[in-house]
Chains A and B, each alone.
Chain A
Amino acid sequence: MKLGLDIGSTTIKCVVLDDKNKLIYNTYERHFSQITEKIGEILARVRETLPEAVNAKVSMSGSAGMGVAESCGIDFVQEVYATRVAANTFIPGTDVVIELGGEDAKILFLTNGLEVRMNGTCAGGTGAFIDQMATLLNVPLEELDDLAKKYEKTYTIASRCGVFAKTDIQPLLNQGARKSDIAESIFQAVVSQTVAGLAQGREITGKIVYLGGPLTFMSELRKCFDDTLNTQGICPENSLYYVACGAALCAEKTIDFDEVIEKVKNYHGSGNFAFNKPLFENQEDYNQFKTRHDKATVTQKELKGYTGKAYIGMDAGSTTVKAVVLNENGELLYSEYMPSKGNPVDLIKGFLNKVYEICPEIDIASSAVTGYGEEIIKNAFDVDFGIVETVAHFTAAKYFMPDVEFVIDIGGQDIKCFKIHNGAIDNIFLNEACSSGCGSFLQTFANALDYSIEDFAKMGLFAKHPVDLGSRCTVFMNSSVKQAQKDGATIEDISAGLSLSVVKNALYKVIRASSPDELGKKVVVQGGTFLNDAVLRAFEMEMGVNVVRPNIAGLMGAYGAALYSMSKVENRENPKSSIIDKQGLENFVHEIKVVNCGMCQNNCRLTVNSFGSGKKFIAGNRCERPITKKKSSGEDNNIYDYKLKLLQSYKPVKGKRGKIGIPMGLNMYELLPFWHSFFTSLGFEVICSPLSSRKLYQRGQQTIPSDTVCFPAKLMHGHVQTLIDQGVDTIFYPCLSYNFDEGLGDNHYNCPVVAYYPEVINNNMKDIQKIIFIKEYFGIHRKKDFPKKAFEKLSHYFPDVTQNQVKKAADSAYAEYDKYMEKIRQKGNEIISNAEKEGRHIMVLSGRPYHVDPEINHGIDKLISSFGVSIVSEDIISPRVEKFKTGVLNQWTYHSRLYAAAKYITERKDMDLIQLVSFGCGVDAITTDEVRDILEKKGKIYTQIKIDEITNLGAVKIRIRSLLAAIGRE
């Protein structure tokens, strides 16, 4: 008889096998992180049910079992290894096992060279991820599967990490997308994460077995895998217990039950977790704190029977919808704070209904709305003003502290904060897609441990040793919590630790402050998360200042909107709001339709909301085209548009040497003119891969070996694959350590990824073997040596090419490159001088040449230009600056342009800079700080937009609008 235990991140599984390896006992339970208690309990129960089990050989497996096993003297078996043993025993002939657990995703290739793949530290959990998504959709986990069965369309959701997906789903919900479609999209995201992240170029074929909780319980998820892999996988009986069975099969020694139960009980880990000071030393400490914060209070008055002018403010946030009614003195008549449940329109309708019900004769003077759902609410209910969140929060904060210097808002899904400089918003920080999870993270965690958020947060107030969980993304925190628990941290310590983490995340990851002086001493904190005293205290401790938290911290956006609407009324004598009246509300209808735009290559998925009487609101669009049916002014004031068109004008010219393919990505976005001319002159027909698209990306997705490399690099796999699919049998994609020296920096390197990505393509794409792939190293920076060296390399592939021909080709290549750069600079200068003439503001949208790719920039250039500004890029203005000293080693050509551009705009009132940063770009960890320094030294605002596979354009809009508001252009 053999006994196996599987201690997972969220559950414990225990099995007993008889001597014929037949399962005779099994149990599956959530442990709510009370791991040791649960193990003791289960073992005791096993002994009760199966007295003979005391003679069983025992071993333990599972990611959370490692330390426990060692200290109790039970053998430990690595869980993937256990799975493999079980699969080989129970389903001989299995080729591939796909197992999703609470936090892990694994693929095991059992035949043709054993390989085991586990998700990397970044890929996040899958079971936990689905849990989180269900919470977000506000449906029980079981229902998610049923919902997905009814899907009609799928949306693309980032398949990388739970937090990314969350930022994708929230706007979809806010725009009114159907839950069933989202449910299916979530499953699809899990599949593509598993397949793309783990297969890494190895084909998943043959006999496939599905294991683990999510795949056992969700048939639709299995179906998604089947469809993607084009196969029919098996989900065997006892699929939940394979790890436990494997552990049992590996068991070699018997244990003394009593001793182990006793040892488990006494297991307290090493007690060696890092911890912080307690939040409060004692009750008195806490009471003082309470009294101090009770001072910032808005008076509550009665709405019923109110006869004066009323002002309505609404904040349709990502996870909650807030709404207030104020009287003329800014006092609160009525307020609501509602979980958004995905549809802000219904909630606001409900709110207005209530208001009209309580006070039928209400005289609404003005109204305003802010938040993610601003536009849809404004359109649906004819709200007077729509304002950007930052302005709303600033307006509210000023009410409590007229000379406020710094405002921080931690909401359910995001962190927003900004400094105030000369009475205007300056320096906005929003959390990047990777570090969100603030309030909602605490929430999810509380739920996972079976507490309500309020109770959970309170538990931390008097914790003796708040765990130090660092300031990282939520997925990491999950694992850190696991580790701390193993080391003996209590729930109280963890609760306090999580509160501290939220604060540290905000301070060090989002704001990147090193001391309170940097942020100012006058701080107003807001957002629902700060209503937790533990978070508030943690913030004060970390900052070392006392801050103001209004009693309406959770309503500040709405409150600010109402105040704003009050300050903006046009008819001062008898203001009258345009907001929907009582009768209108009774007849209000709301219908949602999902369509594809199809008016340009972005092909946005549009959500069309109709509100009866022919009123419509379109969401999900990146430009004005689906609304105005007109093309935006395009290349006349947008250099990105011009560059793209210019590059597309390099067409293939038939040549005697046949075709040569060039993948259009990374540095090719600038070097195409060079190589195109070079090879055309040599007599090749140069075939470029098509413009990037989702589909093209997916063509190469399975061959990406490193899931943390930047998206532009990942796209290269798709470009090369597409060329091969098109039948191009020679592809040219050179390695380039060095770029051209433009004389702006200390050196002129390419970043390691741009320089050497051809190596990755060569080593990881199977189909490369079918073609000639030229990835030689070229030195384009040495114009004199180039022809000779290029000849050496090319003659290896094309023996009949002569040195003279190469020399001629090189001359023409250098000339064409210069011509190209000259053209775009000329165009850029034209855009600038036109903007100067017409008094338009100029945005220097800076990044890398490949940010011109619409699949990479997600149409952000168009979005920005829709605000009526002109757009140039960093390379247009960098030649206007002489080489100067920077605070960092200035050694990459592309980045030297950035610094130069930043320096240039500090001299111009009519220019501001927005930096596009690809997620995972290591080099930009250095450049962003330097660009910020250059700008801020001269009083300019620095704005950064992080982009990835998918980007939340809602957050981008906030940034841009806030920037425009700050410089007085909105």
Chain B
Amino acid sequence: MAELVYDETGRLLFTKEMKEEYTILIPMMMPTHFNIMKSVLIHNGYKMELLDTDGPEIAQTGLKYVHNDTCYPALLVIGQLIHALESGKYDIHKTALMITQTGGGCRASNYIHLLRKALHKAGLDFVPIISLNLSGLEKNPGFSLTLPMIRELAAGLVYGDVIMLAANQTRPYEITKGQTNALVEKWTQKISEEFANGYGYKTKEIEESLYEICKEFSQIKVKRVPKVKVGVVGEIYVKYARLGNNDLERFLSEQDCEVCLPGLMGFVMFKVDNRLEDIKLYGGNKLKYSVVNMLMNFLKKMEKMIIDCTKKYGFLPPSSYNHTKELVKGVIGYGSKMGEGWLLTAEMLELAETGFENIVCTQPFGCLPNHINGKGAVRKIKSINPKANIVTIDYDPGAPKVNQENRIKLMLAVAREELEKTISKNSKKKK
């Protein structure tokens, strides 16, 4: 059995032996993206498992081990991990945990530390935690992101975004129910297999697959009837994770809406761009600037692929990062970078601009950056785009689903009224 090794600060390390013996648990956030990500790690030699558990016990476990006023995503993610460890399903002496760490002035940078505290409280100090980040925080001898892995993960991000977008624009209109989901499933698998065979992460290969994906989604038979279009923005975890938002996407689709979730690419570019903005605003190293700028340009190339392939097959493509950024000028400064920062506001403006005027802005109860960029910006957004119909929803372990859905239904009632107005206007025009 692998020996427990600590670094000089006393942090338990994930060793090379552990790589052989341990299963790594990672909490689910976005199904398509994370499944692809999982397969990247698996074929690079790690034993991985994605936790997609749910139920009230998870929040209860979180409440037990984390300060109750901590943000909801921390409660859930930590609750989910410890709940899994306590479930008896895993050999806890051969299990490691992995969570992402972004850094930055928000509370979220502290999740990994809160997780350690929680493990300690639960008597599970011997479980190693791996921080997944690109900033070089917390290195482990048994885990390293190699360049090929980074390229695969980046490719996975692009695939994930395109599949999510195409599926969201197809599913509400499909004639044979289930076709879209089957295609999502198929491509998730196919990409995973390709990665395992060393294929699918070179630019050329990505491009080919993307066009193939879009083509196949566009071939699903649909009936385009006018539906209420709802965009979802917010704190990244509650925005994407069904555990965090009480399965908001499903609720909205049950209400017969077309849902748009802005992709992950924008967020990644935002986080990279922040480094450039910091230097622009406050001064700094020119060399660092040009290195980061190179990365930014690489991401822009990837982004262009997403836009081009979706456009070609008649999907509504995401706006370019540059355009989205331009939209928020004069509303929130580019220095507002904690959490989702100005991007959150920008995404609302973008959604409203592209026909998704009905917006659910999700946030954990008491989310600090969202005071600024979410709730704090709604008024301004409405003055810029009076059609914007925004509802802000707080998520926390005590907020009952029924109240949240009631508020969303109100937003939808107004949305339907507007939709009917548009339909009757259009039919009059035709006459």
Assess whether A480 is in contact with B283, with CB atoms less than 8 Å apart.
no
Interface stretch among A403-411, A778-786, A947-955, A958-966?
A778-786
A760 touching B371, Cβ below 8 Å: yes
Question: What residues of A have a CB within 8 angstroms of the CB of B63 in the complex?
Answer: 470-471, 508
Tell me, yes or no, whether A627 is within 8 Å of chain B by CB.
no
| Contact, CB under 8 Å: B414 / A114 | yes
Query: In the complex the two chains form, what is the Cα distance from A923 to B334 in whole Å?
Result: 23
B264 located at the interface, meaning its Cβ lies under 8 Å from any Cβ of chain A in the complex = no
- A116, A118, A752: the one contacting B106 at CB < 8 Å is A752
* Residue of B60, B338, B372 with highest tally of chain A CB at under 10 A: B372
Interface size class of B (residues with CB under 8 A): 35 or more
Q: Which chain A residues border B354 with CB–CB below 8 Å?
A: none
Tell me which of B116, B333, B412 has the highest count of chain A C-beta atoms within 10 A of its own C-beta: B333
Contact assessment for B414 and A785 in the assembled complex, using a CB-CB cutoff below 8 Å: no
Q: How far is the CB of B59 from chain A (nearest CB, A)?
A: 7
**Restricting to B34-63, which residues have a CB under 8 Å from any CB of A?**
55-57, 59-60, 63
Q: Is A885 an interface position by the 8 A CB rule?
A: yes
Cβ contacts under 8 Å, A114 to chain B: 414
Q: Are A274 and B397 in contact (CB under 8 A)?
A: no
Contact with A along B379-415 (1 / 0, CB 8 A): 1101000100000001011111111111101101110
Nearest to A471 among chain B residues (CB) is: B63
Does chain B have a CB within 8 A of A605? no
Q: State A891–B108 Cα separation when bound (angstroms).
A: 12
**Interface pair B333/A116, CB less than 8 Å apart:** no
B293 at the interface (CB under 8 A from A): no
Choice from B70, B331, B396 contacting A925 with Cβ under 8 Å:
B70
Say which one of B84-92, B198-206, B318-326, B362-370 lies at the interface with A: B362-370
Indicate whether A532 reaches chain B with its CB closer than 8 angstroms: no
In contact, B332 and A759 (Cβ under 8 angstroms):
yes
Chain A 857-899 residues near chain B, CB threshold 8 A: 885, 887-889, 891-892
Asked whether, in the complex, the Cβ of A80 is within 8 Å of the Cβ of B67, the reply is: no
Contact, CB under 8 Å: A63 / B375: no
CB distance from B102 to the nearest CB of A (A): 11
Q: How many residues of A contact B (CB 8 A)?
A: 81
The yes or no answer to B14 lying at the interface (CB within 8 A) is no
A262: B residues at CB distance < 8 A: none
Chain A residues, CB < 8 A from B189? none
Interchain CA distance A756-B333 in the complex, whole Å: 9
Closest chain B CB from A432 CB (angstroms) = 9
**From A63, A116, A737, contact of B338 by CB (8 A):** A737
Q: Which residues of B contact A309 (CB under 8 A)?
A: none
Interface of B, helix, strand, loop or mixed by DSSP: helix
Decide yes or no whether B348 CB sits under 8 A from chain A. no
Q: Please, how many angstroms separate the alpha-carbon atoms of A779 and B283 in the complex? A: 8
Contacts of A356 in B (CB 8 A): none
Shortest beta-carbon distance, B328 to chain A, in Å? 11
Contact with A along B71-101 (1 / 0, CB 8 A): 1000000000000000000000000000000
Max chain A Cβ within 10 angstroms of own Cβ: one of B121, B405, B407: B407
B64 within 8 Å of A (CB atoms): yes
With a CB–CB cut-off of 8 A, which chain A residues contact B334?
Answer: 777
Check A781 against B371 for contact (C-beta < 8 Å): no
How many Å from the CB of A479 to the closest CB on chain B? Answer: 4
A755 at the interface (CB under 8 A from B): yes
Which residue, of A118, A479, A756, has the highest number of chain B Cβ atoms within 10 A? A756
Answer yes or no: B195 CB below 8 A from chain A CBs. Answer: no
B107 near A775 (CB under 8 angstroms)?
no
Is A753 in contact with B372, judged by CB distance below 8 angstroms?
yes
| Complex CA–CA separation, A122 to B399 (angstroms) | 9
In angstroms, how far is the closest chain B Cβ from the Cβ of A783? 10
Given that A66-B406, A116-B410, A785-B283 are contacting pairs, would A705 and B376 also be in contact in the complex, using a CB cutoff of 8 Å? yes
The verdict on B105 contacting chain A, using a C-beta distance below 8 Å, is yes
**B69 contacts partner chain A, Cβ-Cβ < 8 Å:** yes
Complex Cα spacing A18 to B335, Å: 60
Please name all residues of chain B whose beta carbon is closer than 8 Å to the beta carbon of A698 when the two chains form the complex.
none
A926, B334: Cα distance in complex, Å:
27
Contact B378–A705 (Cβ < 8 Å): yes
| A-B complex: 5 closest residue pairs judged by Cβ atoms | A779-B282, A785-B283, A472-B398, A777-B335, A749-B105
List chain A positions with a Cβ less than 8 A from chain B. 63, 66-67, 77-81, 113-116, 118, 120-122, 200-201, 274, 468, 470-473, 476-477, 479-480, 482-483, 486, 508-509, 512, 514, 705-706, 708-709, 713, 735, 737-738, 747, 749-753, 755-757, 759-760, 763-764, 775-779, 781-782, 784-785, 788-789, 885, 887-889, 891-892, 920, 922-926, 928-929
